[in-house]
Amino acid sequence: MTGASAGIGAATARELARRGFHVLAGVRRDSDRTPLQARDIEPVILDITDAGHVAALAARVERDPRPLRALVNNAGVPGAGPVEVMPLSEWRRIFEVNLFGHVAVTQALLPALLRGNGRVVNISSLNGKISMAGYGPYAASKFAMEATSDALRNELAPHGVQVVVVEPGGVQTEMSRAGLAALTRLGDGMAPEQHARYGALMRAIPAHVAAFTKAGVTADVAARRIAKAVTDRRPRTRYTIGATAAFLIRASRILPDRMLDRMTTSDLRRHYPTDDRGRTTPRVPIRGA
């Protein structure tokens, strides 16, 4: 599996090992190996955007006489900020990790998965179905992962390889905090007119992320859900993690876009800075459907 250094990835590696799998756990640094060292967990250095690392992983799998039962594509990076403000270089970096790196790993391991009638489990997000102000870059990469998974599922179904998507909502990990320093730098670089448009939004995003994360499930709960996606004999095409993700994804299928906009904007507005009268600044209009 990719992205096993910490959080959901590390918890999933341990859960799968507990269930009897030998887990090749992709980590970014040597220092990440030690916390994962355990029976049936083999940490491997893996940057999914590095072609050499991906080739080395494929070679390691080819040397193993055991069949490859599953590939869990979990690696990811956060990326918050207004569409207008986010530099194209950052858009490309986010997509390199959250989409193209996973495509590269999947392509490299497909021969082994086909031989073993294995399974691809792609970790998407609630934001793979719903986006909102300030979350466009990350959500776009996850929407793309959802579309890629749909195509891959149909392409591989006749050949015995199942493709499953897991859509977490809030999960209590450090990933959400990892993007806050980048968000601060992004805000510091905004032009005055951009500050006027997005300054309050930029201050709201960290509080919104913190509240969403605090209300989420633990990494161990998420890991058990991902392990279910790996091991179910007849898996669903999609699994959600957490009540919020389940509710909002279902709502997105039936609500008009404008109504969904009102729901997400109202939730975000609660975290906008307020003036001395307790009013949000700026006062963001919420238009009807």
Task: Identify the DSSP state of 159.
Answer: G
| Gap between the Cα atoms of 106 and 114, Å rounded | 11
Nearest to 22 by CA among 10, 40, 39: 40
Q: CA 59, 60, 62, 65: dihedral to nearest 10 degrees? A: 160
| Gap between the Cα atoms of 195 and 81, Å rounded | 12
CB 61 within 8 Å of CB 109: yes
| Residue of 138, 198, 239, 272 marked active site | 138
Buried b (16+ CB within 10 A) or exposed e, 134-149: bbbbbbbbbbbbbebb
For helices 192-214 and 180-188, the axis angle rounded to 10 degrees is 170
> Which residues are bridge partners to 238 per DSSP?
165
CB 46 within 8 Å of CB 53: yes
Residue carrying the six token digits 């055991």: 66
CB 86 within 8 Å of CB 135: no
Q: Is 135 one of the annotated active-site residues of the chain?
A: no
Query: Hey, CA dihedral for 232, 236, 240, 243, is it positive or negative?
Result: negative
For the beta carbon of residue 93, count every other beta carbon within 10 angstroms. 17
Q: Which residues are catalytic?
A: 138
